[in-house]
Amino acid sequence: MKRWPPGRTRFGGLFHAGVLSLVLASGGVAAQEPAQPLDPESGLIKDEAGVWQTARDHCTECHSATLLQQNRTSRDGWIRTIRRMEKDEGLKPLGDLEKPILDYLVAQYGVQVKPTELRRRRAPLRQPPVADGE
């Protein structure tokens, strides 16, 4: 089994900072996403409902939470990941815990672009040349 580097990855940090600054720049909605506390031991984001502890018990047994941070994805993506963990990696079926864990993963490690933000954020992808004519 591969060993993964502990702690936040450069990509994860940049991604987060990027989203935050875009949210701030788009004005007003930043309050919806306060900086969330990390559990220092597992590295998981602590949610208010405490589902992170369930996720910790089932998803950081074999690898660190860094993998979750690196693999931000949609709900479908997380379902596929869980299935793969079950089929190939030896995760025991989560049963009734699958739904809360899935909700937690999507909320904390989802793709953090809401359709309304998407409309506002689409423009920067095609910016005019930085140095026009120079």
Q: Give the C-alpha separation, 87 to 82, whole Å.
A: 9
| Sign of the C-alpha dihedral computed for residues 40, 46, 58 and 80 taken in this order | negative
Is 93 a binding residue for ligand HEC by CB under 6 A? The answer is no
For ligand HEC, the binding residue among 44, 45, 65, 68 (CB under 6 A) is: 68
Instruction: Based on the shown chain and the rule CB under 6 A, indicate whether residue 57 belongs to the binding site for ligand HEC.
Output: no
Among 8, 16, 46, 63, binds ligand HEC (CB under 6 A): 63
Q: Does 123 bind ligand HEC (CB under 6 A)?
A: no
Map tokens 């931000």 to a residue.
Answer: 72
Phi-psi region of 48 (alpha: psi -120 to 50; beta: other; left: phi over 0): alpha
Q: Which of residues 15-44 bind ligand HEC (CB under 6 A)?
A: none
Shortest separation between residue 77's beta carbon and ligand HEC, angstroms: 9
56 binds ligand HEC (CB under 6 A): no
Q: What angle do CA 80, 83, 85 make, to 5 degrees?
A: 110
**Position 76 contacts ligand HEC (CB under 6 A):** no
- Report the alpha-carbon distance of residue 64 to residue 2 in Å, rounded: 11
Instruction: Tell me which residues touch ligand HEC (CB under 6 A).
Output: 1-2, 58-59, 61-63, 67-68, 71, 81-82, 84-85, 89-91, 101, 105
